[in-house]
Amino acid sequence: MNTPNLEDMGCGTSSATKDKKSEKALKAALVIQNWYRGYRARLKTRQRYALTIFQSIEYADEQGQLQLSNFFSFMLENYTHVQEKEPGLVTRLFGSSIQDKDRQDYLELIEIPDSYCGPRLQFPLTFTDIDLLIEAFKQQQILHAYYVLEVLFETKKVLQQMPNFTHTNTSPSKEITICGDLHGKLDDLFLIFYKNGLPSVTNPYVFNGDFVDRGKNSMEILMILFVSFLVYPNDLHLNRGNHEDFMMNMRYGFTKEILHKYKLHGKKILQILEEVYTWLPIGTIIDNEVLVIHGGISESTDLNLLHRIERNKMRSVLMPPIPMDGDRAEKKNKLGTTTVAQGSRTSGSFSEQLTKQEWEQVIDILWSDPRGKRGCYPNTNRGGGCYFGPDITSKILNKYQLKILVRSHECKPEGYEICHDGKVITVFSASNYYEEGSNRGAYIRMSSGTTPRFFQYQITKATCFRPLYQRVNAIESSAIRMLKERMISRKTDLIRAFQLQDRNKSGKLSMGQWAFSMENVLGLNLPWRSLSSHLVTTDKDGNIDYMSGFQDVHIQKPVKEVQSTLIETVYRYRSDLQIIFNIIDSDHSGLISMEEFRSMWKLFKSHYSVHIDDSQFDELAERMDLNKDGSIDFNEFLKAFYVVHKFDQLNKSDTKLA
C-alpha cells in the first residue's frame, strides 16, 4: 500500500506558511517591543532632566538659606545700637540656650471648649492615643493647641534624658524599620504604617529627620511621631534633620502652617517647638554596626566628640558660634576691617554656644552628601556640609568599627539608593516630593546578620489612571515653570551677560555662548543645551534669540513706577527678606516700623552687594504703607511680587526636555 505524500496533499505548504507568519509576528513583536523600550527610555530621560531641575533649584535655595548666617553676623556687627533698641532680637538670633518656661504659663489660660470635636488625648499616653490621633487626622481634624503644647512639653522632658546618639539592638526575629524624609506628607506616613504596622515594642522604628516643611501636614506628622515616641520611648527613635530648625521652618513652610492652623496659640507652639528641636538626638546606632544620621560625614567627623557635645546649644544651622571676649567681640568683616559687636549683659547666653569645631561637626552630619569621587570637598550645591567619597566612608566606618552608614537628605527617584560599595544607603520616604509622580518613597527593614530589605511605594490619587507620558509632561511643565521663574528673577543680569557675548548686537548667540551665560549667572549646573528648546527659540542656523526666554513670563509690579531692577531684586531675595523680617517681628504681628524696614534693607543691600538707590526702595515702601500709619505688613508686601506666566496653557502641549 502506498503512503500518501503529505506535501502533495498541501500539509507541508500549510506548515511552511504558518512558520512564515509566526516569524513575521515575532519580528513585529520585537519591533514593537524595541520601540516601546526606546519610548519609555526617552520618557525616563525627560523625567530625569525634570528632577535635575527641581533638585538644582532646591539646593540653590538651601545655599541661599545657609548664606543668611553670614548676614545675621553682619547685622549684629552693623545694626546701629541694636543691643539698646532690641536686646531680645540679638538674644533670639545668637543665644544658644533658652530659659525654661513653666508649662502652666502656657496652658493655664487655654481652654478646650465643649464644641471641640477633635481628638482628646489622655496623659499618660497609651497605644490608644496613637490610634485615636491617626484616625482623627485621616478625617482631617485638628488637634487642639492645648494637647499640642502638652505633647511638646512631655516630649522635651523625655528627650532631655536621652544621649546624643541612641543605641539600639535587633535580632533575627526583631527587625527595625528606618524611614527617611517625610516633609509633611502625611499620606506617606499612613501608607508606611498600613504596610509595615504601627510602632510597638516588637516593631521598632527610626525616623531619620526632616519630618516637617514643604508638605501641608507637618504638624500632624510631628504629633503622631511625638505621641508614638512618648508611648514607646525605647522603640521609636527620632533623629534631628536639617529641617528640624526654626529658621528653616520660616522659609520652607512649617512656621506658616502653624500660624495658620493655630491662629490664637501658634506663637506659643513655635516657642516650645524651637526648644524641642534642640533636644532631638543627632543619630542612632543599630547593633553597634549601622550608623543612622540625616546627612553624612566628612573626613574630620569625630563620633567621640559628637557623643559629648551639648546638642541643645545648636539652635539653628544658620546661627554659627560668635566668638565673644568678655562683653565684646571682634570680627573681621569682608573688607578686612575689624568691627566690634557690643555683647551687653542681656545676651549672657553667648557663653552657652557650641564651639566652632562642634558646630561644624553637627553641620557635616546634617548637611553632607555622598559622591562617587574620592576625597572630601565642599558641598557647593547646598552651601553647607561636604561631599564625601568612598574612601572617606571606609575611613570613618573602619575607625569606629561600623559597617554601614544609612542616611537620608536627598530625594531619590526610586526612594532609595546604594553607593560606596554598599556601605552607604540613602533612604527617602516622601513620595511625589517635587511633583505628583516625580519619585517613589521607600523604607528599610533590617536586623542583625541579615541583608537590608527595601520597600517602595508611591501615593497616587488623580494621576493613577493617567498614562506615563501625561505624568511626565506634568512633571516637565512644573520644572520648566520653576526654571523660568529663576530666569526672570535674574533677567537684568542675564541680559547683561548675553550682551557681553553678543558683540555684533544681533540679539543672537551661539548655543555654546548662551549655555555659558546661563550657567555663569544662574549657577544651577544644568544641561542647558538639552533644555534650550524649551526655554528659547533657535533659528535655522542654530543661533539662539536670547530675549525669547523672557517673552512669556514677567514679574508683576505692585507699583508701576518702580524700576524693574528693584522688582527683580526683591522677588529674587523675597524668601531671605521674609525670614529677616520675621526675626525682627518677634511678636509675630506681621508688622514692622518703616524705620526698621529701611534699616534692614540698607544692611541687606550692603551685605549682598545690591546696587540700587535707596530712594527707589523708600518710594516703594511709602507706597506699600497703605494706611499711612508708619508700619508695613511685610508678608503682604512680599506677596505683591509674583511671576505671571503668560502662556501657561499653550506651554502644556507637547514640548519636551529631551
Q: Domain tally for the chain?
A: 3
Helix (H) or strand (E) holding 538: strand 537-538
Q: Are residues 222 and 301 in the same domain?
A: yes
- In sequence order, which residues have a C-beta less than 8 Å from that of residue 402 and are 6 or more positions away? 285, 288, 289, 290, 291, 396
Q: Are residues 529 and 573 in the same domain?
A: no
Q: Determine the Cα–Cα distance for residues 325 and 338; give it in Å rounded to an integer.
A: 14
Q: Are residues 131 and 190 in the same domain?
A: yes
With cut-offs at 50, 70 and 90, classify the pLDDT of residue 588.
Answer: low
Q: Which of 451, 474, 505 is the C-terminal boundary of a domain?
A: 451
* 601 is a domain residue: yes
Q: Are residues 245 and 386 in the same domain?
A: yes
**pLDDT for res 655:** 46
Residue pair 188/459 in contact (Cβ under 8 Å)? The answer is yes
Q: Which domain holds residue 223?
A: 117-323+354-451
Eight-state DSSP code of residue 284: E
pLDDT digits (tens, 9 = 90+) for 380-392: 888 889 999 999 9
Catalytic residue at 243?
yes
Q: Are residues 517 and 586 in the same domain?
A: no
Q: Are residues 493 and 371 in the same domain?
A: no
**pLDDT for res 22:** 81
Q: What is the CATH number of the domain that holds 505?
A: 1.10.238.10
* 227 is a domain residue: yes
Q: In a 3-state reduction of DSSP, which class is residue 86?
A: coil
pLDDT digits (tens, 9 = 90+) for 494-524: 999 999 999 999 999 999 999 999 999 999 9
Q: Are residues 299 and 375 in the same domain?
A: yes
Q: Which of 520, 550, 580 is the C-terminal boundary of a domain?
A: 550
Region label for 178, one of left (φ > 0), alpha (ψ between -120 and 50) or beta (otherwise): beta
Q: Are residues 130 and 204 in the same domain?
A: yes
* 535 is a domain residue: yes
Q: Are residues 222 and 260 in the same domain?
A: yes
- The 3-class SS string of 333-360 reads CCCCCEEEEECCHHHHHHHHCCCHHHHH
The model carries a pTM of 0.85
Choose the catalytic residue: 237, 243, 420, 534.
243
Q: Are residues 138 and 277 in the same domain?
A: yes
Q: What is the CATH number of the domain that holds 193?
A: 3.60.21.10
* 340 is a domain residue: no
Residue 5 has pLDDT above 70, yes or no: no
Q: Are residues 204 and 267 in the same domain?
A: yes
Alpha-carbon distances, residue 97 vs 161, 310, 347, 349 (angstroms): 17, 10, 10, 6
Q: Which of 501, 520, 550 is the C-terminal boundary of a domain?
A: 550
With cut-offs at 50, 70 and 90, classify the pLDDT of residue 102.
Answer: confident
* 581 is a domain residue: yes
* 8 is a domain residue: no
Q: Determine the Cα–Cα distance for residues 424 and 613; give it in Å rounded to an integer.
A: 51
**pLDDT for res 568:** 85
Q: Determine the Cα–Cα distance for residues 534 and 541; give it in Å rounded to an integer.
A: 17
Q: Are residues 433 and 507 in the same domain?
A: no
Q: What CA dihedral angle connects 375, 377, 381 and 382, to 10 degrees?
A: 110
